[in-house]
Amino acid sequence: MKNLKIILALSAAWLSMTAHAVEFNQVQTDKSNIAFAYQQMGVKMDGRFRKFAAQLAFDPAKPANAKASFDVELASIDTGGSESDQEVAGKPWFNTKVFPSARFVSSSVKALGGNRYEVAGKLSIKGQTQDVVIPATFSAQGNSAVFDGTFTIRRGDYAIGAPETYVLDGTHTFPRFSYSHFGYSTQLSKFDKTTGKVVFDKAAKTGSVDIVIDTKSVNTGFPTFNDHIQGEDFLDTAKFPTATFKSTKVTFDGDKPATVEGNLTLKGVTKPVTLTLTSFQAMPHPMMKKDAIGANAWTVVKRSEFNAGKYAPYVGDEVRIDIAIEAIKE
């Protein structure tokens, strides 16, 4: 969801009238509505704000002199579910504790003919102010009138549900690899030094992963074998001290990432791989008091495709890579 459609239906009554003019300047909030609509994974969603205030001064005979403004209590959002309401009121979305309201103030009103108008002004949400233009219609009904308008904003312009960047926690991030040793056993080894970043956008269901592995930090459990596996026939760490993974696509299952497609570069060879997640969690870290994410994922590669296939197939060519990741929000 990148765009948010705002739907306005304001009912107003006139309080002042002369022989030549009628000015509508009392907004009837009990008969008005401020709603929104968006698409999430191709599904149309909608909701409304239960509390808002609006001011209006509009003379149909002199639209250029019109003034309009409205203030919305963002915590009054109604998405149709209490859990969703709490989520969008939170920091990544509207952050209502810091930014309790949104405000629109008109700067000009242009008549287009046929009771159609163009209302220009500034909309402020989460401390961000942008110019907007609201196409609106005016319909008089006795001593009252209805103003209908719909406009679309880009949530990124207001940092609504903006992507968040997390830095890998090297003390809790470990790539591990396993392979068959002559069919006798499955050998397990790991890398002790890993750095990188994860970008996570829960609202838009997008993200990215960028990981750098220090291949000299390989840990087989035996110093002699550590040196052996760093040799030219395998990791060749003298020439290629790092391995990297850069994502190209993240797919979601519900509100959690399920797979991460990307490119693995090892010994100067780059191949596409897909990481399958077996777990994912995003929540405040109880000790660090910062937002954090964690995941476990796996994939299988053939070491021969990375010029590291010596002794295959006796020592298994297929290598399973498992990675445990924890990352802290910047």
- 59-98 confidence digits (pLDDT tens): 888 899 999 999 999 999 999 889 888 888 887 789 999 9
Is residue 253 located within the same domain as residue 280? yes
pLDDT over threshold 80, residue 317: yes
Tokens found for residue 82: 């209490």
Rounded Cα gap, residues 111 and 106, in angstroms: 14
Task: Judge if 149 and 199 occupy the same domain.
Answer: no
Q: Judge if 317 and 240 occupy the same domain.
A: yes
Domain range for 231 is 164-329
Are 203 and 236 in the same domain? Answer: yes
End of a domain among 138, 158, 178? 158
What confidence tens digit (pLDDT) does each residue in 177-231 have? 999 999 999 999 999 999 999 999 876 778 999 999 999 999 999 999 999 999 9
Out of 140, 158, 176, pick the residue that ends a domain: 158
Residue with more model confidence, 211 or 153: 211
pTM higher than 0.85, yes or no?
Answer: no
DSSP secondary structure string, 20-57?
A: S-EEEEEE-GGG-EEEEEEEETTEEEEEEES-EEEEEE
Average pLDDT, the chain: 90
CA distance 16 to 26: 10
Do both 93 and 238 map to the same domain?
A: no
Whether residues 151 and 189 share a domain: the answer is no
Same domain? 315 vs 183: yes
State the CATH number of the domain containing residue 150: 2.40.128.110
CA–CA separation, 119 and 114 (whole Å): 15
**Are residues 184 and 47 part of one domain?**
no
Distance CA 319, CA 179 (A): 5
Residues 145 and 186 in one domain: no
Phi, psi (deg, nearest 5) at residue 31: -110, 10
Task: Please count the structural domains in the chain.
Answer: 2
Integer Cα distance of 100 and 37 in angstroms: 20
180 shares its domain with 299: yes
Q: Single out the residue in 118, 137, 158 at which a domain terminates.
A: 158
Note whether 7 and 153 are same-domain residues: yes
Q: Is 319 found in the same domain as 243? A: yes
Check residue 277 and give its pLDDT: 98
